[in-house]
Amino acid sequence: MSPDNIKEFIWTHRLEDPQRVALSARKHPDLPMAFIAGQIDFLQKIQKKVPSWYREGLKFPAAISMEQASSEATARFKASLLPGGKMADLSGGLGVDSFFFSKFFSSVTYVEPNAELANITAHNFGVLGVGNAQFIHASAEDFLRGSSETFDLLYLDPSRRHQQKGKVFQLQDCSPNILDIKALALGKAPKVLLKTAPLLDISLAARQLEQVSQIWVVASGDECREVLYLLERSPTLFPEIAVHAVQLNKDGAVQDFQFSYGEEQQAPVEYALPQQYLYEPNPAILKAGGFRSFACRYGLKKLQQHTHLYTSEQFVPGLPARSFAIEAVCKYERKAVQACIPSGKANITTRHFPDNAEAVRKKLGLADGGDTYVFALTDMEQRKVLVVGKKI
């Protein structure tokens, strides 16, 4: 069967279970059903992660994970940060980041050591109508050493898969190792944007990289997705690095809470027992470590040094946080909670607490769900308490 017929078959059956498709090989002896099933599986993942790529005619590599690829929301955000003339993506991969950079730069150079992957991405960019990209089959190191071109921006998302160590997060274990090629990269461009996984310690990475001027901690939904470091030729003192805790909302709105680590160290904080309202900062702020800055900026009081929950007597609207009206503060006992939550259902969060959410649920005999929220936490007097409230 011709490639066009295979393409049409994939699109026609794109909503079906990939495993079922693979098992239907006897019904279609003239079709490569294992390959088709893999393409359908990838297409279904693309629909969720990069919706604008969900279309007929795209090709996907047989053996590559989408885990490290950026989502559409995070890729669009990072591409919009530093628009300019020429940029190079030194870790091309599936091309998601390169695709969105192409919308904010006059030209994009996609660099990828895997020849098959580079060819597939070039095909996909043709289908997607990208006309300002060129494709280079090379490692990031070889490209930087061999190219005489200079760029306005270089972007790097090192692979976090190590042949011996498996999944890794330390900069020196990723490939390519940015610590080895940093000087070479900054010789080719005045700005280098580095993406890392959220599990990497931000302050450690900034100190290792030495020439970081800005950091973006990017979250969407209830999860931190990635951390971006902007490296420039002139070093910035660590306390002066601008940190952006960015929450990407479903409606396209961007919440950007900015602070510096110098500001964070010096911000005065007051502590209090739970008052009328409780606030839980968004995941980006919690990952970025803007705990004192958040309290100081909005006139809130912390419940405890390590709890990272906040309270106020008067409601403070518009915060980059989930807000709750407190209904009760209970002892960590089943009888006390049953009196506060007659429905027997609640959403449980633990903060600086000896038991995890599931253990708390089991001890209290609560079912999951409903419109009541329980925060199991340690308060400023070191007591283990439960704060019960409704979301605002």
What is the pLDDT at residue 164? 55
Give the residue numbers spanning the domain of 82. Answer: 72-261
Contact 188, 209 (CB under 8 A): no
For residues 223 and 125, state if they share a domain: yes
Residue 255 DSSP SS3: strand
For residues 281 and 223, state if they share a domain: no
Please report, for the domain that includes residue 192, its CATH number: 3.40.50.150
For residues 108 and 230, state if they share a domain: yes
Of 106, 73, 114, 112, nearest to 87 by C-alpha is: 106
Whole-number Å distance between alpha carbons of 192 and 304: 38
Q: Is residue 62 part of a domain?
A: no
For residues 29 and 116, state if they share a domain: no
Q: Is residue 63 part of a domain?
A: no
Per-residue pLDDT of the chain (392 residues; tens, 9 = 90+): 678 889 999 999 999 999 999 999 888 988 999 999 999 999 999 999 999 999 999 999 876 767 778 999 999 999 999 999 999 999 999 999 999 999 999 999 999 999 999 999 999 999 999 999 999 999 999 999 999 999 999 999 998 765 555 565 688 888 899 999 999 999 999 999 999 989 889 999 999 999 999 999 999 988 999 999 999 999 899 999 999 999 999 888 899 999 999 999 999 999 999 999 999 999 999 999 999 999 999 999 999 999 999 999 999 999 999 999 999 999 999 998 888 898 999 999 999 999 999 999 999 999 999 999 999 999 999 999 999 999 99
Whole-number Å distance between alpha carbons of 389 and 109: 52
Contact 391, 373 (CB under 8 A): yes
For residues 243 and 321, state if they share a domain: no
Label residue 207 exposed, middle or buried (CB < 10 Å: 0-12, 13-18, 19+). exposed
What is the pLDDT at residue 132? 98
For residues 43 and 156, state if they share a domain: no
What is the token pair recorded at 40? 């359908």
For residues 99 and 164, state if they share a domain: yes
Label residue 356 exposed, middle or buried (CB < 10 Å: 0-12, 13-18, 19+). exposed
Domain final residue, candidates 242, 261, 280: 261
Q: Is residue 166 part of a domain?
A: yes
For residues 162 and 304, state if they share a domain: no
CB neighbour list of residue 148: distance below 8 Å, 6 or more residues apart = none
Q: Is residue 288 part of a domain?
A: yes
**Exposure of 369 in the CB half-sphere (CA atoms within 13 A):** 1
Question: What is the reported pTM?
Answer: 0.92
Q: How many domains does the chain have?
A: 3
For residues 32 and 159, state if they share a domain: no
For residues 234 and 152, state if they share a domain: yes
Residue 131 DSSP SS3: coil
- Report the phi/psi class of residue 120: left, alpha or beta, with left for phi > 0 and alpha for psi in -120 to 50: alpha
For residues 109 and 248, state if they share a domain: yes
Task: Calculate Rg over the CA atoms of the chain.
Answer: 25
* Cis check: omega of the bond before 176, within 30 degrees of 0: yes
What is the token pair recorded at 234? 């002139």
Whole-number Å distance between alpha carbons of 374 and 340: 10
Q: How far are the Cα atoms of 339, 374, 383 from residue 354, in angstroms, in the given order?
A: 23, 15, 11
For residues 90 and 225, state if they share a domain: yes
